[in-house]
Amino acid sequence: MALVIHWQGGDHTRMTVKKNKIGQTRWAVKADVVDLVRNLASQLPDLSIAAILNRSGKRTGHGASWTRSHVCSLRNIQGISVYREGERAERGERTLDEAADILKVSRATAYRMVSSGVLPARQLCTGAPWIIQLSDLQHETVRREADARRSRRPISQDPVQNPLL
């Protein structure tokens, strides 16, 4: 929008001002946050999404920290569907903890396998859960690596200690 300011004394200043589109305000949530919520909504409930947004330093349109109700409101405005329990499992996705249980290794070992690239996983943003495809957990190389890491556990030589089976 162009506007001309007429100053006392006869000077004129021409300015171009960006006008908000219909329905937009200066309090809008940034587009990258909306995209992140859209992706996280298929993985987690609103309270967990709020925690991740706060940990990553994202703010609401008014500059406040996120709460469950803020996330719920944003989802409703943007038409993002709510997380349904078991939705991840239906898509064949597992969290790092679930993958560790399947491979029969500790969470730390599963994380080291992800970090080294042996176990493919994705994370939507820092602080979000690692998502692993069930099909990747069934690969022979991943199974072999889990077996190898499991066999590295030191066995006590003390006869008084009973092994846990």
What's the pLDDT tens digit per position in 30-72?
989 999 999 999 999 999 999 999 999 999 999 999 999 999 9
Does residue 142 surpass a pLDDT of 80? yes
Phi, psi dihedral angles at 5 (to 5 degrees): -100, 125
Does residue 165 surpass a pLDDT of 60? no
Alpha-carbon distance 63 to 84, whole Å? Answer: 29
Give 74-120 pLDDT, tens digit per residue.
999 999 999 998 888 899 999 999 999 999 999 999 999 999 999 99
53 in Cβ contact with 94 (< 8 Å): no
Alpha helices in 41-106 (DSSP H): 46-55, 68-78, 87-90, 96-103
Average confidence (pLDDT) over 14-32: 81
Q: Identify the bridge partners of residue 93 per DSSP, sorted by sequence position.
A: 133
| DSSP tally for the chain: helices H, then strands E | 8, 4
Q: Which residues contact 158 (CB under 8 A, 6 or more apart)?
A: none
pLDDT at position 153, please? Answer: 62
pLDDT at position 154, please? Answer: 61
Q: What is the pTM of this model?
A: 0.70
Does residue 1 surpass a pLDDT of 80? no
